[in-house]
Amino acid sequence: MNKKLDAVALSVRSLSMDAIQQANSGHPGLPLGAAELAAVLYGKIMKHNPANPKWVDRDRFVLSAGHGSMLLYSILHLAGYSVTLDDIKNFRQIGSACPGHPEYGYTDGVEMTTGPLGQGVSSAVGMAIAESMLAAQFNTEDFSIVDHYTYSLVGEGCLMEGVSSETASIAGHLKLGKLIVFYDENRICIDGTTDMTMTEDIAGRYTSYGWQVLSGDMYDYKAIESLVTSAKNDHRPTLIMLKSVIGKGAPTVAGTSAAHGAPLGEAGIIEAKKNLGLDPDKKFYVDPLALEWFTERGTDFAAEEASWNEQFAAWSAKYSEKRKLWDTAFVDGGIDISKLDSAAVPAYKIGDSKATRAASGEVLNAFASVYPNLVGGSADLQGPNVVGIKGATVYDAEKPQGRYFHYGVREFGMAAITNGIQLHGGFRAFCATFLIFSDYLRPALRLAALMHLPVVYVLTHDSVFIGEDGPTHQPVETLESLRVIPNVQVFRPADPEETILAWKLALARKDGPVCLALTRQNTTVFTKDDPDWKHTIECGAYIVRKGGNKPDITILATGSEVGMALEAAERVSSKTIRVVSVLSREVFASQSEIIQNAITGNSDGAGRIVTVEAGVSAGWEGWASTRGDSFSINRFGESGPGNKVAAHLGFTVENLAKLLEK
């Protein structure tokens, strides 16, 4: 028995139940049921310093079961992070540092946004991968400057979600021994007991993934410490299954699904406080012993970081070249933008014909040679996505210095892991698949956007022009479905030259993800009438064919359809036609009306705007002059050669020219 840890656990329960009750919203079951784990983890086990939540070599904790957020906020407050009692009292209120689910960037000590179950533990896999890569790159025989663990807390919901299975399989395969996952084994879900839906042998499942599986009691501090020690002594990732009682301490709901997702109610609070030995009239009570414990431990936390700082200084002095690489790796966004123009990118010339996916591969390799911390991989599509890094070692258990990842056919897991790598720091991360299969990774992309992570998604085979694979693989609605996600920018370059700029702009972005939509079919490098197009394109669009000062028609086209628009414009001699390449509609839409009008020709009296994209017309309504002026594909495709499929769908230069002549 540890009275001070008991005081911490009691305070976690007190703060959690009162905050949830005051908000009249929240999930008390997990905070009440796992308070002891939080107490011993933050109070004795983890290497961290509340005075510096961004210490590079800290242990990371990811609350994958994000609905139990008050567990995290309470322990962060008690441990000395910047979470105040007033923050806790404003739980789930607009602008609070304690939102309903943990949100990255809002609260010191919150390592990532969680709540969508399974994603937290999956990104924890990425964090563990990042730690091992940095250790392989920077540790020396005499210094271990990268040496930390990644912890995560999951419930049954996380283990039911498919993404956690994808990433658990990868973690076991990669032997991520510094990943330790606690399973809050209360066997309760929202609808009742988990035996309604989850009867497999979880320990056996994780053992088959290549994990060490241990079990113990959620309420035994020494047992938990011993289990963590055993986890640290094994080269495999570890799942620690802790038997628990959901809503422990609240007799009206403990052990039942009623504890999961609703306040205890005033009567329930009174009963719980009486049961726990608390004064029912005192709200947001914190046991003085809890504060005393963390005041004592605060000195130890600071001393541990100070010791690391001394080691880091000595390492820096002895290994100055490694220190330079370190500083490069840890710049904001993981990319030193000043080096973007120093990369030896390909020199394409007018008339060169190449798929933008192929050009992307060449550009990626040019930037990879300048940025050794640019890392990524594909969901079993390295060749088709053209994302192999020449000369790069493939990351695996024996070669953690690798920078390319084989994720297998696990798009969601891949994207969640990529988020974790980016969150950890020290890298700029990308991942790749076919554009159509971005549907499989969308929830992780959405979290990347919410967390403002500058992840790059390489999405090839971007239209019906992929041909023979048919409608299952031909994206028609996908571009628009990505564009509507807030803070996501979709770049669809029209030719190899634009692809260079698309990559540059993607890497220069620091506050959100970029999707590169790339062709399978060849595109031809075309003449650009705008002499300053390489700068204008930063606005999201630029003039390819001016068509006079006052064009009769302006065509807004994206990707491979810019070439189609140019050809159609040449065929229509009766009208002056401007062609604008829209690299990113979202970026273009964010420009001032003056800039938009200057490019579209509206400020010059352009009479009509036609949009062209090999996808659905949705989203273009605000740009095209009329509904009929959106030249699009509003149906699924067919299986056949790409050009024949397009012709079958009526998506041809001839038909576009007819539309322009109207």
Which residues are part of the catalytic machinery? 411
Separation between Cα atoms, residue 222 and residue 39, nearest integer Å: 12
Separation between Cα atoms, residue 550 and residue 405, nearest integer Å: 51
The answer for residues whose C-beta is within 8 angstroms of residue 333's C-beta and 6 or more apart is 428, 454, 509, 510
Separation between Cα atoms, residue 167 and residue 315, nearest integer Å: 34
Separation between Cα atoms, residue 260 and residue 584, nearest integer Å: 43
Return the SS3 of 336.
Answer: coil
The CA R_g of the chain, rounded to the nearest whole Å, is 28
State whether the Cα torsion 274-275-276-277 is positive or negative. Answer: positive
- CA distances for 574 relative to 551, 625, 629, angstroms: 11, 19, 18
Give the count of beta carbons closer than 10 Å to the beta carbon of residue 462: 29
Is residue 272 within 8 Å of residue 264, measured between CB atoms?
yes
Q: Which two tokens stand for residue 153?
A: 């807390």
Return the SS3 of 286.
Answer: coil
Separation between Cα atoms, residue 447 and residue 454, nearest integer Å: 11
Give the count of beta carbons closer than 10 Å to the beta carbon of residue 589: 15
Is residue 583 within 8 Å of residue 502, measured between CB atoms?
yes
For residue 427, the number of C-alpha atoms closer than 13 Å in the C-beta half-sphere is: 31
DSSP sequence for 456-501? EEEEE--SGGG-TT-TTT--SSHHHHHHTSTT-EEE--SSHHHHHH
Is residue 404 within 8 Å of residue 389, measured between CB atoms?
yes
Q: Which two tokens stand for residue 22?
A: 């005051």
- For residue 392, what is the DSSP state? P
| Strand-pair partners of 433 | 459
Closest CA to 598 of 636, 551, 633, 558: 551
Separation between Cα atoms, residue 651 and residue 268, nearest integer Å: 65
Separation between Cα atoms, residue 281 and residue 460, nearest integer Å: 61
Is residue 541 within 8 Å of residue 581, measured between CB atoms?
yes
Closest CA to 66 of 103, 30, 104, 115: 115
- CA distances for 104 relative to 110, 111, 125, angstroms: 6, 6, 17
Is residue 423 within 8 Å of residue 124, measured between CB atoms?
no
Closest CA to 34 of 42, 23, 46, 24: 42
Helix axes 411-424, 162-174, angle to 10 degrees: 70
- For residue 535, what is the DSSP state? H
